[in-house]
Amino acid sequence: MEKVLITGEVPEHAQKMLESAGLNVDVFTGEKLIEKATLMERSQDASFLITPLSTKIDAEVIDHAPKLKLIANFGAGFNNIDTDYAKNKGIMVTNTPFVSTVSTAEVTVGLIISLSHRIPEGDHLMRTTGFNGWAPLFFLGHELSNKVLGIIGMGQIGQAVAERMKAFGVHILYTQHHRLSKQRENELGAEYVEMDNLIESSDIISLHLPLSDKTHHMIGANEFKHMKKNTILINAARGPIIDEDALLSALLGHEIAGAALDVYEKEPIVADEFKKLKNVILTPHIGNATFEARNAMAEIVASNVVASLQNKEPKYIVNGVQTKA
């Protein structure tokens, strides 16, 4: 009986799918993330590995799992896995794209509204000192109508954000390597611009691109210097896309108006300085934290493991390894 190690608890139906396929299912159930030593010990006899993007699968881990055929990442991203080394070892790596789109887009819109209207700040006020009553100049925020929203990365999630934000009457700019079709731009009400233009023109900037060598610290000191002083920055993509030291300096120096972060450069660590700022919203990487999204992700990883077990081609292979005939 071949073994699959699941390095963190996932929706129950995934485990049932794997057991029904005749697999020995080993699930790590610790309260904290699995430690590397435990991961290596429990994966050494595993043929399949299901792991969340919070668990690092490096060359050392892979070398300690000589039977490994497939690493099924529970997440759309896969920068936690040394995919090139896995490829050299003939190990397939898969991810779970697309199913996070709706949830992440909704969270992004929620962060934009919450930061613009100071909703978490108001909630904190009411739970602490309270207020003296309505007043004309009290606790003012900003409407979204007629603001400029700049979307960096117009993939599935970026487009889903644009679809939802269009209803608020914002003017949408976007930039990415490949321009959308004219028809799609018209549907979204979006205008393609170069990065510099977007940075200088946007009242709201939202990041929706993967982490890579090219996108690491894409938003840093130079970009903050060219943003409007009323700009708010939203990151529900990957933490290291932003140079957080530069972001903190920009916030403290009033170069931008605020930020909402769902992901972090040194996740799960969050710099204490951010926690002290009223114009910053911090959420614990909840972009796709819905029953709907996580159930769909579980379905994908379990189906991919079963497919590999049966010598069929899994979906969403990200490192180019194919099923051996």
Q: What is the DSSP letter of 285?
A: S
Report strand pairing: 3-6 vs 148-152: unpaired
Give a three-class secondary structure readout of 48-79.
EEEEECCCCECHHHHHCCCCCCEEEEECCCCC
C-alpha 1/C-alpha 110 separation (Å) is 46
Percent of the chain whose pLDDT exceeds 90: 96
In this prediction, residue 53 has a pLDDT band, given cuts at 50, 70 and 90, of confident
Beta bridge partners of residue 260, listed in sequence order: 234, 281
Q: pLDDT per residue over 189-228, tens digit each?
A: 999 999 999 999 999 999 999 999 999 999 999 999 999 9
Cα 86–Cα 91–Cα 95 angle in degrees, nearest 5: 85
Hey, which residues are catalytic here?
Answer: 238, 267, 285
The tokens 């999630």 sit on which residue? Answer: 157
pLDDT given at position 318: 94
What one-character-per-residue DSSP string does 131-184 give?
A: -----TTTT-----TTPEEEEE--SHHHHHHHHHHHTTTPEEEEE-SSPPPHHH
Q: What is the mean pLDDT of residues 135-146?
A: 97
**Position 27: which residue type?**
V
CA 130 to chain centre: 35
**Quick one: tokens of 238?**
């990957």
Supply the mean pLDDT for the chain: 96
Residue 171 has pLDDT above 60, yes or no: yes
Q: pLDDT per residue over 226-237, tens digit each?
A: 999 999 999 999
**Quick one: tokens of 44?**
């050494």
C-alpha 8/C-alpha 34 separation (Å) is 7
Q: What is the mean pLDDT of residues 61-87?
A: 95
Residue 324 has pLDDT above 80, yes or no: no
Instruction: Give the chain's count of helices (H) and strands (E).
Output: 13, 12
**Rounded to two decimals, what is the model's pTM?**
0.92
Check if the beta carbon of residue 175 is closer than 8 Å to that of residue 194.
yes
Cα distances (Å, whole numbers) of residue 123 to 117, 130, 133, 209, 307? 11, 9, 15, 31, 48
Residue 258 has pLDDT above 60, yes or no: yes
Residue 325 has pLDDT above 70, yes or no: no
Report strand pairing: 190-192 vs 171-175: parallel
Q: pLDDT per residue over 15-41, tens digit each?
A: 999 999 999 999 999 888 999 999 999
Q: pLDDT per residue over 85-103, tens digit each?
A: 999 999 999 999 999 999 9
